[in-house]
Amino acid sequence: MKKQGINPSLERQKGSAIVWILLMIALFAALNYAVSQGSRTNGDKISRENAKLAANDILNYGRTIREAVQTLQINGCDDTEISFDQVAVTGYLNSNAPPDNSCHVFHPNGGGVRLQEIEDSIQTIVSGNEYPRFLGSTTFTNAGSTDAELYLHVRSRSQQACTIYNDKVGITNISDDAPTENGAETTPLFVGAYSSGDVFGDDGGGASFSNFQTGCYKDANETDTDGTAFYDFYQILIAR
C-alpha cells in the first residue's frame, strides 16, 4: 500500500498562520507599549500644566490683592484700617475699619475683590490652608525698614508650582528646587495691627529672595502630615 504524503500547500498555510499570529502578538505588544508610554507622558504633561496654572493663578491673585490695597490707600484708608474680613474665613474682623466697608478688600464698597480658594491640585493635606492668609508679622529683608510688612501667604505642597513661580518672577531656584527658608509667619491674621515675628531672607536660601516683593520658598521647619515639604508663596502688599 502506497503511503500518502503531507500536502505541501497545507504545510505552507500552517506556517503562514503561525507567522501571522507571531506578528500580531508583536504588534499588540508594541501598541501596548506605545499607549503606556503615551499615557505616562500625558500624565506628566497634565501635572505640569496644573502646576503652571496654579502658579499663574497665585501670581495674578497676589497682584490683584496688592493693587486693591494700594487703591484703598489712595482712597484714604490707613494701612491699619484695611480689612480682609469676609464670610468664608473667620478671624479677620478689624475694629479699626470704617463701618461703611470702604476699607474692606473683599467688599464692593472697598476693594471689590473676590476671595479665591487655592487650586485643589496643590492644596495641603492638613486643613486650614484652603485660602490665602493675610498677615503682618514678618519682616522681609530689603523690602522696607525693619518693621513687619503686610503680606499675602499661600501654603502648598507643590514643588513644581513653586519653582515655576520663581522662574516667572526671576528668583533663581537651587538644583531644580525652590530655595529653602525658615519661613514667613502664618499667624496671627492681620486685623489692623502689626506684630514682630520672623525675619524672612536671613537664613538658608533666603538671600535668593532679597529685593523680591513676591516669591516661593521651601519651608525648612514644617511639613505636611505625610512628610511632604510645604512650598509657600508670599506677596508683599505693603512694604514698611
Entry pTM: 0.80
Q: How far apart are CA 95 and CA 187, in angstroms?
A: 18
pLDDT digits (tens, 9 = 90+) for 87-101: 999 999 999 999 999
Domain boundaries, the chain: 45-238
Q: What is the pLDDT of residue 47?
A: 87
Rounded to the nearest angstrom, the gap between the alpha carbon of residue 220 and the centroid of all alpha carbons in its chain is 17
Ranking 13-22, 101-110, 128-137, 190-199 by mean pLDDT, the lowest is 13-22
Extended beta strands in 82-178, E state: 133-140, 149-156
Helix %, strand %, coil % for the chain, to 5? 35, 20, 45
Q: What is the pLDDT of residue 1?
A: 45
Ranking 46-55, 82-91, 100-109, 208-217 by mean pLDDT, the lowest is 46-55
In the predicted structure, residue 44 carries a pLDDT above the cut 50? no
Q: How confident is the model at residue 3 (pLDDT cuts 50, 70, 90)?
A: very low
> Which residue did the predictor score with more confidence, 36 or 157?
157
pLDDT digits (tens, 9 = 90+) for 124-170: 999 999 999 999 999 999 887 889 999 999 999 999 999 999 999 99
Write the CA distances from 107 to 7, 28, 31, integer angstroms.
Answer: 92, 61, 57
Extended beta strands in the chain, E state: 133-140, 149-156, 180-181, 199-200, 214-223, 229-238
Q: How confident is the model at residue 200 (pLDDT cuts 50, 70, 90)?
A: very high
